[in-house]
Amino acid sequence: MGDVLVRLPGVLEPAAGNQHTIAVDCPAGATVGQLLDVLARDYPVLGRRIRDETGAIRRFVNLYLDGEDVRRLAGTDTAVGPGQQVDIIQSVAGG
């Protein structure tokens, strides 16, 4: 077991107790989906902002594992382990 560092944009910080980074204890071989399950358990509002009711990553939310877009890897089945970093980026739309 070890920590995966999850970094949030300012817009999501209030949903995580005003934290910019969260250290999540993950066993080796865990998946991004399991990491998101832990976040949703500890921060339910944050969990709902990241994934929809089916568990899919919301369309305007991007997750990067050590700089790689998880959608280009194995999505929520992407393996994540201690010492890695997940950046959660919420797209901003406007005109």
Domains of the chain: which residue ranges?
2-90
CATH of domain 2-90: 3.10.20.30
Q: How confident is the model at residue 83 (pLDDT cuts 50, 70, 90)?
A: very high
pLDDT confidence of residue 32 = 97
- What does the block give as tokens for 2? 């070890």
Tens of pLDDT, residues 44-73: 999 999 999 999 999 999 999 999 999 999
Find out whether 88 and 7 touch, Cβ atoms under 8 Å. yes
* Predicted model pTM: 0.91
In degrees, rounded to 5, the angle at the alpha carbon of residue 84 between the alpha carbons of residues 54 and 38 is 35
Model confidence at 93, in pLDDT bands (50, 70, 90)? low
pLDDT value, residue 94: 58
